[in-house]
Chains A and B, each alone.
Chain A
């Protein structure tokens, strides 16, 4: 509902895909409401600094929503211009973050995301071969993903992962992420787009797959069942981590490692 309201009110003619907008709204706008409405009331210039504010979670976004509605009511004519500026900043931020993606045939992130899930083109139609090869090379040392132990218990361990393609990160990047996290669950949730508290109290398992070629590792199309509204073309997670897709993994072809995050 929040997504629909915000986009409906603010993004007429907008050029960014809804999940990106929401993510960037989360990062760029709502933080200010945590600081209190009084801080920005009647101060349009200060509002233009929205993009410098960061909130850490969707929970913050929801908590700030009531203040946001008050702001909408009081914003009047200057509001649209301010929002346009903020969106321009979003766009610049997105493009800056993903400039390494080598699009071809006139595609860019926005153009790919205009295709709905199920109808998205094959990545080779919009990404250079060089980029795809370089991307998949990041997975040569292995791939990883995180899953609650309960999921493995529920669905079994003979073949794990989604049958139409399991999303994975590069093992190296997973190593780095967990090292940086230093056991902090919220950090990992935030980095990987898990709803705040989504893993709280859950026993987590890291799945490592070393022989990725055997698993038919490939660039995600965004049509996979696991692709949600945060999916981006080019094998990127919203925070910049690399992701690929592979076939579901048979027992013996993966390592199951318990990880301790609190």
Chain B
């Protein structure tokens, strides 16, 4: 084989997988269909500060801003604040995702991985009934890349899993369809990541305002696919901005669209195959955020690949260490938050207002969705009774 592993996609999950596999001595190639790693950005660019503990990103070029906390606004503008001083001073960053992704790719390359741009996976190579790499198109050339393991790190629209017979098609109620402006000349004196809930504001989702600097913010919207109509996300985002004078005075320097899986994870391992990141649906179904889980899962995948290469065994059983380990690390959390998502979808605006009002003075111990969910379960054991057993599990 030319390579021990070929990773399709140079996003965070792909790069971190490549890095940790390479560090264990595996020969790894990353293929990226785009011309620049991390570009265009498809992300709200908010991430929990817990990534600091993992020591996977050097320097601070990827950080746009460290926020003081998060504020959630119910439809009647009741504010729930999770501030740094209550949460052990650990909050979150707003990042430059292009630089963020390039830093991760750089660390993969530093560990020995190879990287090809403008190289698009076209199909899987099957030899003697086994997966043996991928066929790619690079500019005008089509050629084969032989590898013992194929890693699908090809994002929300993943084809690798599908080609390998894993049903990765998202149901409309399992996807958030998103649009986002980066607005400049806005007023971000409150250094918080803000979330606005409401069935008229963002059906089945939310609007976010993430400050990148004093006068610049990512202002985006995600709405649930099953509640969406043609072009609704952008229309509702424009309306939200028009209704908020502090944002209305800004001008956009960037417009992006996106899609976030808010689903239960899929099967992530087959003989000679691993799925990571958005392709594996390693995304928090409440927030649609997938950076931390993608990095955590990718690191595990990298270790699994490294060990598989040492043993020269690439069957499902060997690679299943990855699936067992990510389930242990964050599988319960993803499942629990999927249940929370389903329960929340039944709440009308009145209920959201009531819930926000009941926890608005709550002293949150941790900067996480879990601390918020715990508070709500504590205050409303009957309303959220489906959740109680899941909270105890954690």
B and A form one assembly:
no
Identify the A interface with B (CB < 8 A): none
Identify the B interface with A (CB < 8 A): none
